């Protein structure tokens, strides 16, 4: 496995997860349709962390549920999400997902670890159960394996016999991470792992996830916390109104020259450490998306073309004003 | 404006969450209270909003010592403080439309006739359209619901606004938008602000001064450590 | 929208159940409300020549020991049982909701005292308590209703109290208090509407309970007087003929008690499914 995060160097490898034109529609009562995710396209390589960022309601959690096969029955998915080059998560049956994918090939780091752990059983009992299920370790080896599993997520040995409610937020997060790591899954999926945690804890959680990525796993982290994304990600995918509008390397995205898509720029500028200025307006309803660019109504650069025609996702960007290239043509104008 | 003196509070007298905490917010001042999650700062916020009776200590609001909490507090005292909580989903009665949500304090205080006018004033301020106002909480996003909760806290024009982790669940843009609404209201009304949170960068940018939880608590050794 | 997400029971099964239950309930309601006033038949008509006739075209349910038509008797009996059941269930629900809401909303000592009284009353068998209550009055409809209401509000009070307690700690109640709402307003505007679906469900589920309670009292001869024949009275008066091998006077009143009970329970179950499912749409917003 590699500890080199230059995506170019990893181009030759088979991605751990390759998502192509993934769309999720919810059929609602009364014939209404909700386009929760539309034409998502991205891939994650071993040892790489991709952060999927966007505001709540942009469809990123639905995307995560789709990858785990946990969508409600009224959802329809199209496209493909190929895991490890051989299993399409969207067409695999529930039996395959339950027996060979969840836990074994995708480890889930949950949003609220305290709720994810079984309240009436100690952490040790839950770790041992996962070990039995996922690795087949039995008998006396189990105790030792549990210690190793806990140590991997930096969960202190002395707290193993505690119940979830006796753990602080940080320890609960580590316990959940320890469980996610047990199956040695090549892909970790972290859905808002830092919501409600304070800054120190966010950084510690994120750093630990980064460490597991450096060991050669692929990490897909879904978050609205840009500071957390900046700290951990190799690449960033920005989602708006169900579509990925930009995918970029993290360093130029957060540093210079900055994001190319106006929405991503607006999102970064809203941070308190930057301009602290909100993007005007609110995102459109996923059930009533405009024909043109979904961001046009809030965009300072929008012109007639933006409202008429939906920009294609090309060169990792969906914006009329920057068809190709690294820099935003209007960036200079805006900065001037 | 608000003076908390040696407040001890919690849900079990033998094991209070807040111990001997003092805090001062001057009229028109914006104070940020910074602390890790689970340290008891939300409980302190509820004490300050007259929603939770402390076990010991005194709360002085506008120079008057507070004698009763919740329903025992005089209505004028209660409504002088506006509160916004962390989780909009839990802070909104699921049966009410956003319009009714915002109007509730007016109806509670016998100002039903002001409802159309005040809602019409506040909705654009917090960025809610007429169409959104008619929806119920389950049909809007967290960010939209929190906008309505903020409007509800402002509808009676409080002299002190308490924001308890108001933006913890929200994205950067909505956070900036809500803070801008609060600041606009404060500049127009001269109201004071107590913003409770764990995001140092945010509170330092937002408030006149920030207080760290440990600095003012005698019982800081109890503060949960991750 | 969310229903399809729930694996059990399947949508079709559930629809069949709802339709069947609703059809039965409507049919029963029509039978007991429309037939008696319209029919020119006298359920009390005695015909000693045809006593204890087995079911036939003239008497589909047969006749009883004095030759009265059992189908007619059952319809009238169900009418009485259902009315007693409805009124008693409604009364019990109102009492239970009021007491449960007060205990939950006030908390503290009020709550402790009220709930200990509830526990104490619950520890006495319902029927025993019911018998004790009817025994204090002259036989009639009202003593039976009072007996049912006073023994059946306990579970509703418990349900409502726990619902109120869980709602009371929600921040939206804090927000209402902070917005100047009075205690009454919090209870009436925010807590009660939140528990009404649960209380309504409890009420529907209680109707069959109340009917059975009434039947049990009548069967023991403590319920309604003989001229207001309820299903319980019918079963009771048929005991003698059952020993002689005449099954119809007990079977049909029994079925008339069981079938509406199951139908009501089926409808209540559908209602419960309706108020319970998590709205999956929240997941994506």
3-state DSSP call for residue B57? strand
Instruction: Give the chain A residue nearest C7 (alpha carbons).
Output: A73
Q: Residue A2 — very low, low, confident or very high, per pLDDT cuts 50/70/90?
A: very low
**Residue numbers in C near B154 (CB within 8 A):** none
pLDDT confidence of residue C40: 64
Q: Is B174 on the interface with A (CB under 8 A)?
A: yes
Q: Is C196 on the interface with B (CB under 8 A)?
A: no
Sheet containing A235-240: give its strands across: A106-109, A187-191, A218-223, A49-53, A235-240, A243-249
Return d(Cα A129, Cα A126) in angstroms, integer: 5
Cα separations in angstroms, A224 against A37, A193, A196, A299: 16, 10, 12, 20
Cα separations in angstroms, C123 against B49, C135, C154, C202: 43, 20, 11, 20
Find residues 159-178 of chain C whose CB sits inside 8 Å of chain B: 170-172, 174-178
> Looking at chain C, which subunits does it touch, using at least 3 CB pairs closer than 8 Å as the criterion?
A, B
3-state DSSP call for residue B222? helix
| A62 to C285: CB separation less than 8 angstroms, yes or no | no
Which of A28, A34, A73 comes nearest C5 by C-beta?
Answer: A73
Question: CA nearest C199: which of C152, C150, C163, C160?
Answer: C160
Which of A57, A197, A277 comes nearest B176 by C-beta?
Answer: A277
Instruction: Give the chain A residue nearest B178 (alpha carbons).
Output: A278
Return d(Cα B89, Cα A10) in angstroms, integer: 43
**Residue numbers in C near A282 (CB within 8 A):** none
Length of chain C: 285
CATH of domain A7-105+189-281+313-318: 3.40.50.300
Rg (CA), chain B: 17
HSE-up (13 A, CA, CB side) for residue A244: 27
Instruction: Out of A1-5, A143-147, C42-46, give the one with best mean pLDDT.
Output: A143-147
pLDDT confidence of residue C92: 92
pLDDT confidence of residue A10: 46
DSSP A248-268: EEHHHHHSSS--SSHHHHHHH
Q: Which residues are within 8 A (CB) of A56 and not within 5 positions of it... i.e. 6 or more apart?
A: A224, B141, B142, B143, B169, B170, B171, C285
* Total domains, chain B: 1
Return d(Cα A152, Cα A131) in angstroms, integer: 13
Sheet containing B192-197: give its strands across: B81-84, B160-164, B192-197, B30-34, B209-212
Return d(Cα A266, Cα A281) in angstroms, integer: 12
| A196 to B37: CB separation less than 8 angstroms, yes or no | yes
Report residue C66 as tokens.
């004095």
Q: Is B182 on the interface with A (CB under 8 A)?
A: no
Q: Is B36 on the interface with A (CB under 8 A)?
A: yes
Q: Which of B42, B46, B53, B90 to mutate: most C Cβ within 10 Å?
A: B90
Return d(Cα A137, Cα A123) in angstroms, integer: 17
| A168 to B224: CB separation less than 8 angstroms, yes or no | yes
Q: Is C279 on the interface with B (CB under 8 A)?
A: yes
pLDDT tens per residue across span A238-275: 999 999 999 999 999 999 888 989 999 999 999 999 99
Q: Residue B121 — very low, low, confident or very high, per pLDDT cuts 50/70/90?
A: very high
Per-residue pLDDT, averaged over A28-43, amounts to: 85
**Residue numbers in A near B225 (CB within 8 A):** 168
Return d(Cα B80, Cα B62) in angstroms, integer: 9
Q: Is A57 on the interface with B (CB under 8 A)?
A: yes
Domain encompassing residue B91: 29-39+68-212
pLDDT confidence of residue C2: 37
CA angle B34/B29/B176 to nearest 5° reads 60
> Looking at chain A, which subunits does it touch, using at least 3 CB pairs closer than 8 Å as the criterion?
B, C
**Residue numbers in C near B95 (CB within 8 A):** 193-194
**How close does chain A come to B147, measured CA to CA in Å?**
11
Strand partners, C86: none
Per-residue pLDDT, averaged over A308-329, amounts to: 71
Instruction: Give the chain C residue nearest A57 (alpha carbons).
Output: C285
pLDDT confidence of residue B215: 58
3-state DSSP call for residue B40? coil
pLDDT confidence of residue C276: 57
The answer to whether C268 touches C201, Cβ cutoff 8 Å, is yes
Percent of chain A with pLDDT over 90: 29
In angstroms, how far is CA C135 from the centroid of its own chain? 22
The answer to whether C164 touches C191, Cβ cutoff 8 Å, is yes
pLDDT tens per residue across span B68-99: 989 899 999 999 999 999 889 889 998 899 99
Report residue A43 as tokens.
């891939």
Return d(Cα C179, Cα B107) in angstroms, integer: 9
Q: Which residues are within 8 A (CB) of B60 and not within 5 positions of it... i.e. 6 or more apart?
A: B2, B3, B5, B66
CA dihedral A92, A93, A95, A96 (to 10 degrees): -10
Q: Is C274 on the interface with B (CB under 8 A)?
A: no
Whether residue B223 has pLDDT greater than 70? no
Per-residue pLDDT, averaged over A266-291, amounts to: 89
Sheet containing A17-27: give its strands across: A33-44, A17-27, A75-83, A87-88
Q: Is residue B12 one of the residues assigned to a domain?
A: no
Stretches in chain C below the pLDDT threshold 50 = 1-8, 277-285
Whether residue A331 has pLDDT greater than 80? no
**Residue numbers in B near C2 (CB within 8 A):** none
| C176 to B92: CB separation less than 8 angstroms, yes or no | no
Return d(Cα A296, Cα A320) in angstroms, integer: 10
The answer to whether B161 touches B154, Cβ cutoff 8 Å, is yes
CATH 3.40.50.300 in chain A, residues?
A: 7-105+189-281+313-318
Per-residue pLDDT, averaged over A206-212, amounts to: 88
Q: Is residue B226 one of the residues assigned to a domain?
A: no
pLDDT confidence of residue C38: 67
Whether residue B3 has pLDDT greater than 90? yes
Whether residue B193 has pLDDT greater than 90? yes
| A65 to C285: CB separation less than 8 angstroms, yes or no | no
Q: Indicate the pTM of the whole model.
A: 0.80
pLDDT confidence of residue A319: 85
Return d(Cα B66, Cα B59) in angstroms, integer: 6
Q: Residue A322 — very low, low, confident or very high, per pLDDT cuts 50/70/90?
A: low
**Residue numbers in A near C1 (CB within 8 A):** 26, 28-29, 74
Q: Residue B114 — very low, low, confident or very high, per pLDDT cuts 50/70/90?
A: very high
Q: Is residue B63 one of the residues assigned to a domain?
A: no
Find residues 204-263 of chain A whose CB sits inside 8 Å of chain B: 204, 224, 226-227
C68 φ/ψ sector (left φ>0, alpha ψ -120 to 50, else beta): beta
Q: Is residue B57 one of the residues assigned to a domain?
A: no
Rounded to the nearest integer, the mean pLDDT of chain A is: 84
pLDDT confidence of residue A201: 77
Which of B127, B141, B204 comes nearest A56 by C-beta?
Answer: B141
| C1 to A65: CB separation less than 8 angstroms, yes or no | no
pLDDT confidence of residue C284: 37
Which of C4, C280, C284 comes nearest A57 by C-beta?
Answer: C284
Which is more confidently placed, B63 or B215? B63
What ipTM does this complex have? 0.89
Length of chain A: 336
Q: Which of C6, C7, C14, C284 to mutate: most A Cβ within 10 Å?
A: C284
Whether residue A8 has pLDDT greater than 80? no
Which of A36, A61, A74 comes nearest C4 by C-beta?
Answer: A74
Q: Is residue B2 one of the residues assigned to a domain?
A: no
Which of B142, B176, B179 comes nearest A56 by C-beta?
Answer: B142
CATH number of domain containing B205: 3.40.50.300
Q: Which residues are within 8 A (CB) of B123 and not within 5 positions of it... i.e. 6 or more apart?
A: B102, B129, B130, B133, B151
pLDDT confidence of residue C117: 92
Q: Is residue B14 one of the residues assigned to a domain?
A: no
Return d(Cα C131, Cα C117) in angstroms, integer: 20
Q: Is B173 on the interface with A (CB under 8 A)?
A: yes
CA angle C175/C176/C181 to nearest 5° reads 145
Task: Give all strands (DSSP E) within B96-159, no chain letters.
Answer: none
DSSP A265-318: HHHHHTSTTTT--PPSS-PPPTTS--SS-TTGGG-TT--HHHHHSPPP-BTTB-
Residue for token digits 């889930």?
A: A108
């Amino acid at each position: 496995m590699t500890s080199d995060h230059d995506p170019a160097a990893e181009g030759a490898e088979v991605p751990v997860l390759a998502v192509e034109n993934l769309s999720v529609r919810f059929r609602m009562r009364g014939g209404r349709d909700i386009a929760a995710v539309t034409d998502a396209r991205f891939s994650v390589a071993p040892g790489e962390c991709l952060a999927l960022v966007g505001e709540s309601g942009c469809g990123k959690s639905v995307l995560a549920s789709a990858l785990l096969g946990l969508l409600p029955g009224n959802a329809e998915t199209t496209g493909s999400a190929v895991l490890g080059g051989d299993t399409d998560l969207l067409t695999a049956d529930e039996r395959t997902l339950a027996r060979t994918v969840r836990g074994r090939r995708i480890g889930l780091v949950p949003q609220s670890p305290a709720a994810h752990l079984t309240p009436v059983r100690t952490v040790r009992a839950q770790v041992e159960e996962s070990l039995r299920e996922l690795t087949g370790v039995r008998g006396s080896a189990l105790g030792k394996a549990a210690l190793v599993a806990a140590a991997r997520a930096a969960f202190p040995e002395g707290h193993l016999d505690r119940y979830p409610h006796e753990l602080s937020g940080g320890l609960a997060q580590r316990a959940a991470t320890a469980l996610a790591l047990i199956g040695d899954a090549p892909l970790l999926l972290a859905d808002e792992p830092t919501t409600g945690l304070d800054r120190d804890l966010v950084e510690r959680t994120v750093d630990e996830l980064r460490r597991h990525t450096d060991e050669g796993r692929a990490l897909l982290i879904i978050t609205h916390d840009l500071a957390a994304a900046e700290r951990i990600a190799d690449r960033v995918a920005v989602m708006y109104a169900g579509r990925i509008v930009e995918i970029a390397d993290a360093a130029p995205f957060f540093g210079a020259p900055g994001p190319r898509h106006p929405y991503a720029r607006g999102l970064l500028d809203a941070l308190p450490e930057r301009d602290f200025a909100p993007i005007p307006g609110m995102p459109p309803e996923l059930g009533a998306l405009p024909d043109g660019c979904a961001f046009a109504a809030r965009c300072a650069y929008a012109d007639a073309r933006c409202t008429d025609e939906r920009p294609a996702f090309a060169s990792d960007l969906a914006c009329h004003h920057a068809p190709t290239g690294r820099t935003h043509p209007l960036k200079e104008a805006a900065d001037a | 404006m608000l003076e908390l003196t040696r407040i001890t509070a919690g849900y079990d007298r033998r094991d209070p969450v807040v111990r001997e905490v003092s805090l001062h917010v001057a009229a028109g001042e914006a104070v940020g209270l910074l602390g890790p999650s689970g340290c008891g700062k939300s409980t302190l916020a509820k004490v300050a909003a007259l929603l939770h009776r402390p076990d010991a200590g005194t709360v002085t609001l506008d120079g008057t010592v507070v004698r009763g909490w919740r329903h025992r507090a005089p209505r004028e005292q209660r409504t002088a403080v506006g509160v916004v909580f962390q989780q909009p989903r839990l802070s909104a009665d699921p049966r009410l439309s956003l319009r009714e949500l915002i109007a509730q304090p007016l109806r509670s205080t016998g100002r039903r006739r002001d409802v159309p006018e005040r809602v019409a004033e506040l909705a654009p301020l917090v960025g809610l359209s007429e169409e959104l106002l008619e929806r119920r909480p389950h049909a809007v996003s967290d960010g939209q619901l929190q906008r309505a909760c903020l409007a509800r806290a402002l509808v009676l024009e409080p002299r002190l606004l308490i924001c308890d982790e108001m933006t913890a669940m929200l994205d950067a843009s909505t956070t900036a938008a809500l803070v801008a609404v609060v600041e606009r209201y404060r500049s127009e009304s001269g109201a004071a602000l107590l913003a409770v949170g764990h995001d140092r960068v945010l509170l330092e940018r937002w408030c006149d001064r920030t207080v760290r939880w440990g600095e003012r608590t005698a019982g800081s050794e109890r503060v949960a450590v991750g | 929208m969310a229903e399809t997400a729930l694996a059990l029971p399947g949508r079709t099964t559930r629809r069949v159940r709802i339709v069947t239950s609703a059809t039965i309930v409507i049919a029963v309601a029509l039978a007991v409300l429309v037939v008696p006033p319209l029919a020119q038949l006298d359920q009390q008509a005695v015909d000693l020549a045809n006593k204890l006739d087995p079911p036939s075209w003239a008497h589909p349910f047969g006749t009883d020991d004095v030759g009265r038509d059992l189908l007619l008797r059952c319809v009238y009996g169900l009418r009485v049982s259902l009315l007693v059941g409805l009124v008693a269930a409604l009364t019990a629900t109102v009492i239970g909701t009021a007491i449960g809401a007060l205990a939950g909303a006030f908390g503290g000592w009020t709550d402790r005292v009220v709930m200990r009284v509830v526990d104490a009353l619950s520890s006495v068998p319902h029927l025993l308590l019911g018998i004790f209550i009817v025994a204090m009055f002259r036989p009639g409809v009202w003593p039976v209703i009072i007996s049912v209401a006073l023994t059946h509000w306990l579970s509703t009070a418990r349900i409502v109290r726990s619902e109120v307690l869980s709602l009371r700690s929600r921040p939206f109640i804090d927000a209402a208090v902070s917005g100047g709402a009075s205690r009454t307003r919090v209870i009436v505007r925010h807590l009660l509407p939140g528990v009404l679906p649960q209380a309504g469900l409890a009420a529907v589920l209680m109707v069959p309970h109340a009917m059975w309670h009434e039947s049990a009292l009548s069967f023991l001869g403590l319920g309604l007087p003989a001229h207001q024949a309820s299903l319980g009275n019918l079963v009771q008066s048929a005991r003698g003929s059952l020993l002689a091998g005449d099954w119809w006077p007990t079977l049909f009143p029994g079925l008339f008690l069981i079938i509406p009970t199951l139908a009501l329970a089926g409808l209540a179950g559908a209602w419960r499914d309706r108020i319970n499912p998590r709205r999956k749409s929240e997941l994506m917003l």
